[in-house]
């Protein structure tokens, strides 16, 4: 199965955010290359909130270009067999944490946001991944910092999209 086919199946199975979900599906129907960065009309991205529910904290990355605390994530790559695999790969690469486990149930949220030209939109499919209790992290080349934050600290450092992702993740837990 191609990544495009996986994306369509995942989105058809996603039961929340109906209007936004349909916008993602419409985008993919109009753009068969809509999972790739080269699609300048916008493209899917995959992200993952790294969470440690035992200690009530999440691992955020200080994005090098945006200078914002965000969940891990990025563009899909040709070797990614699925959106979930892309999100897990990005989380592992950007956090350095080994042994991350996807939270069951598929995506936690969708978040569409504008980005600078030549592309216009990121259609982010957001997952959550569980960190092992002994998780150690590193700072990747894409980050200025990587740090654990308690659930209560997240709204003080991150934007509303990350706060909504944390809320949805906690509800799923």
The total domain count for the chain is: 1
Task: Tell me which residue range forms the domain holding 104.
Answer: 3-172
Residue 88: CATH number of its domain:
3.90.79.10
Residue with tokens 């914002």: 68
**What is the full per-residue pLDDT of the chain (173 aa) written as tens digits?**
999 999 999 999 999 999 999 999 999 999 999 999 999 899 999 999 999 999 999 999 999 888 999 999 999 999 999 999 999 999 999 999 999 999 999 999 999 998 877 778 899 999 999 999 889 999 998 899 999 999 999 999 999 999 999 999 999 99
DSSP the chain: --HHHHHHHHHHH--S-HHHHHHHHHHHHH-TTTTSTT-TT-EEEEEEEEEETTTTEEEEEEETTT-SEE-EEEE--TT-SSHHHHHHHHHHHHH--SS-EEPSSS-SEEEEEE--TT--EEEEEEEEEEPPTT------TTEEEEEEEEGGGHHHHB-HHHHHHHHHHHHH-
Residues listed for the chain: 173
- Contacts of residues 78-81 at CB distance under 8 Å and 24 or more positions apart, as own/partner, are 80/3, 80/46, 81/1, 81/3, 81/6
* End-to-end C-alpha distance for the chain, whole angstroms: 29
Q: What is the pTM of this model?
A: 0.95
Predicted pLDDT of residue 101: 97
């Amino acid at each position: 199965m191609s990544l495009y086919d996986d994306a369509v199946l995942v989105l058809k199975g996603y039961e929340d955010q109906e209007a936004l979900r349909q916008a993602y599906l419409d985008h993919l129907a109009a753009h068969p290359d809509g999972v790739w960065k080269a699609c300048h009309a916008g493209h899917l991205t995959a992200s993952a909130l790294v969470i440690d529910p035992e200690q009530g904290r999440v691992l955020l990355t200080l994005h090098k270009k945006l200078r914002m605390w965000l969940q891990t994530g990025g563009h899909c790559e040709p070797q990614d067999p699925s959106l979930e695999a892309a999100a897990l790969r990005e989380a592992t690469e950007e956090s350095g944490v080994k042994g991350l486990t996807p939270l069951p149930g598929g995506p936690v949220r969708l978040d569409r946001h504008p980005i600078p030209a030549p592309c216009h939109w990121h259609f982010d499919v957001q997952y959550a991944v569980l960190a092992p209790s002994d998780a150690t992290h590193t700072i990747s080349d894409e980050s200025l910092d990587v740090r654990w934050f308690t659930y209560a600290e997240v709204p003080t450092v991150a934007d509303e999209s990350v706060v909504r992702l944390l809320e949805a993740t906690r509800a799923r837990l």
